[in-house]
Amino acid sequence: MQKRNGKKLVLLDTDTEQLKKLLQDKASECHQYCSALKEEIQKAQIVPQEKLPPDVVTMHSTVEILDVEDDEVSKYTLVYPWEADADSSKISILAPIGTAILGYRQNDEISWKVPSGLRILKISSVMQSQSEVV
C-alpha cells in the first residue's frame, strides 16, 4: 500500500492503543496484514480526538472508495476483526482493504496491490462514527 499524494498518515490516539493491543493478541497468528498494520502505525502522526481532522478514516468510520480504473464505488465500515460482517459491509482492520485505508483522508489516492495487479483507490467520502465526533 502506498499513498499517492505524499500527506502524512493520521491516526487517532485511542485507535492506535486498541490496534497495538490487537496486534499483541494476534502475535502468534499474525500474517502479512498484521505487519502492514504495524508499519502504518509506525509512520503515522498520532493525534488526540480534539486534533483529529473530520475527514480521516478511523476505526468505525464509514468510507466510500472509488476504484479509479473501473469507476466502481464501494462503501465499507472499518471495524475490529470480531465485528467484521461482509453482509453488512463491515470490513476488518486486518483485511487488506481495511489496513489500506486506515488513517488516510477524503480525496487521498492509495495504490493497493491485489492478486491481479495494482489498483488505484480514491477515498471519496469519510463519515467518522458518532463516538469519535467531537
Domain segments of the chain as ranges: 2-129
> Percentage helix, strand, coil, to 5, in the chain?
35, 35, 30
pTM score of the predicted model: 0.84
Chain centroid to CA 39: how far? 13
Q: How far apart are alpha carbons 119 and 64 in whole angstroms?
A: 16
pLDDT band of residue 132 (cuts 50, 70, 90) is very low
> Mean pLDDT score of the chain, rounded to an integer?
85
- Summarised one tens digit per residue, pLDDT across range 25-70 is 766 566 666 787 888 888 899 999 999 999 999 999 999 999 998 9
Task: Give the pLDDT of residue 4.
Answer: 47
Lowest mean pLDDT among 33-42, 64-73, 85-94, 100-109: 33-42
Residue 99 contacts residue 114 (beta carbons within 8 Å)? no
Task: Give the pLDDT of residue 14.
Answer: 94
pLDDT > 90 in the chain, percent:
54
pLDDT band of residue 8 (cuts 50, 70, 90) is confident
**CATH 1.10.10.10 is the classification of domain 2-129:** no
SS3 34: helix
pLDDT band of residue 125 (cuts 50, 70, 90) is very high
